[in-house]
Amino acid sequence: MMRKLIIGTTCFFLLLFGSNAYGGWIIHEQSYETGSKEKFSVVYYISDQKLKLVDGEVETIFDLNSNTILIIIPGQSVYWKGSPEELKHEIRLSLENSLDEKLKDVPVEKRDMLRKYYLEQINDKDPNKINSQIDALLVNTGKKEKIAGHISTRYALYVNMDLKEEFWISPEVPVTREFDMLRYKELLKKIYPGSGEMDYHSGSAYLQVLQTGLLMRTIEYTFGVKLITEVVKVKQKDLKPSEFSIPQKYKQVSYVELDFEDLEY
């Protein structure tokens, strides 16, 4: 369940772009770990400051015009709608309510201690949390490669002198005004207020590069694992407002009533 929203912290940063106010973009993307045969596919629809992520059987829509988030499960004909602050509140309530079930097999003498620990994590109230300093360096390697039919330039991002990420940007896809990256990032911070503490994507150089075109491929190096996210298809298309609206006869439910169990991803 959380992967559907966290993926916004990872994959959504790959697609913060735009064109004119009347156009639109459809981007197909895959992500996988090296050595694994399992691939996750998502599709992004972007137009007029709106982004829709289709991830399996769940659609998540971010509307920067109204500062709202819409979560739709078409197979159940239900949806949730609210502000970033409301989503943060309901996610935390949902996690808190699920603690008793998760801790039911823990010995009684340890249950209260673990419950307190998890609540501190959920509410960002860990007194032992340390804000580490990040020294990030962005390097334009000058190397170019064709990805999904578009010439892309490779960049390397070093954090505290270690290679943390490689990514390829294509200026051939002029999508720099359809979806505002800075506003989107601020919206995400309202949902996950602690997400910016270790965010090496906050540097001005990184943000400026992202606004030059479409992010075609990213390789993240984390704990000895390489996570690769790559655009496999890009299509420019006029998207109707209905693409980002609630289908007729769908029922509005609370976040806790959204049933993410047994959905395909």
Question: CATH code at 111?
Answer: 2.50.20.10
Q: Please give the Cα distance from 17 to 150 (Å, whole number).
A: 16
On whether residue 179 sits in a domain, the answer given is: yes
Whether 162 is covered by a domain: the verdict is yes
pLDDT-derived band at 19 (thresholds 50, 70, 90) equals: very low
Q: Mean of the pLDDT values across residues 8-17? A: 42
Residue 265 lies in a domain: no
Q: Judge whether 262 lies within some domain.
A: no
Residue-range definition of the domain harbouring residue 104: 2-257
pLDDT in tens, 97-139: 777 777 777 777 676 777 776 666 666 554 444 444 567 899 9
Say what the pLDDT of residue 43 is.
96
Answer whether residue 263 is part of any domain: no
Q: What is the pLDDT of residue 133?
A: 53
3-state SS, 145-156, equals EEECCEEEEEEE
Q: Looking at the domain assignment, is residue 264 inside a domain?
A: no
Q: Is residue 8, in this structure, part of any structural domain at all?
A: yes
Distance CA 60, CA 4 (A): 8
Amino acid, res. 29:
E
> Burial, 55: exposed, middle or buried (Cβ in 10 Å; 0-12, 13-18, 19+)?
buried
Helix (H, G, I), strand (E, B) or coil at 134: coil
Please give the Cα distance from 131 to 194 (Å, whole number): 10
What span, in angstroms and rounded, lies between the C-alpha atoms of 264 and 57?
Answer: 6
In Å, what is the CA distance from 85 to each residue of 91, 110, 190, 213? 10, 32, 6, 30
What is the predicted pLDDT for the residue at 134?
63
Mind listing the pLDDT tens digit for each residue in 224-265?
889 999 999 999 999 999 999 999 999 999 998 888 876 665
pLDDT value at 197 more than 70: no
Please, are residues 178 and 237 in contact by the beta-carbon 8 Å criterion? no
pLDDT (mean) for 191-210: 70
Count of domains for the chain: 1
